[in-house]
Amino acid sequence: MSLDLSIPCGLIINELVSNALKYAFKGREKGKITISLFLINGMVTIKVSDNGVGMSKNINVKETNTLGLQLVTALVEQIEGKLKIDYNKGTTFTITFKQIQ
């Protein structure tokens, strides 16, 4: 993966893990955060998921006031990727983009 992709991906993962640590496990002693990276047919997929309390479905990440999610959205746009959020059993962020050689 090129530096042009590696740096934004590292920042995205850092921000999503930080958010999970800060918000997902309130009132709980334990929790699980999973980071996955796949390369299939020239497409890179990054998944960051937690089994925490879940993010509100009412939050629009493209119009949020939180700096962290604004940063994630901007970085996904920078790498010309797509962001999907799954709210089942915690929260899963899936980012997909083309691999650049």
CATH number of 3-98: 3.30.565.10
Q: Cα separation of 8 and 74, whole Å? A: 10
Model confidence band, residue 57 (pLDDT cutoffs 50, 70, 90): confident
pLDDT attached to residue 52: 93
What are the residue boundaries of the structural domains of the chain, listed by start?
3-98
- Residue 78 pLDDT > 80: yes
Under 8 Å CB-to-CB from 57, ≥6 apart: which residues? 87
pLDDT attached to residue 2: 82
pLDDT attached to residue 59: 78
- Residue 60 pLDDT > 80: no
Model confidence band, residue 43 (pLDDT cutoffs 50, 70, 90): very high
Model confidence band, residue 97 (pLDDT cutoffs 50, 70, 90): very high
Is residue 12 within a helix (H) or strand (E), and if so which, with residue range? helix 3-19
Q: Which residue has the tokens 């925490």?
A: 52
- Residue 65 pLDDT > 80: no
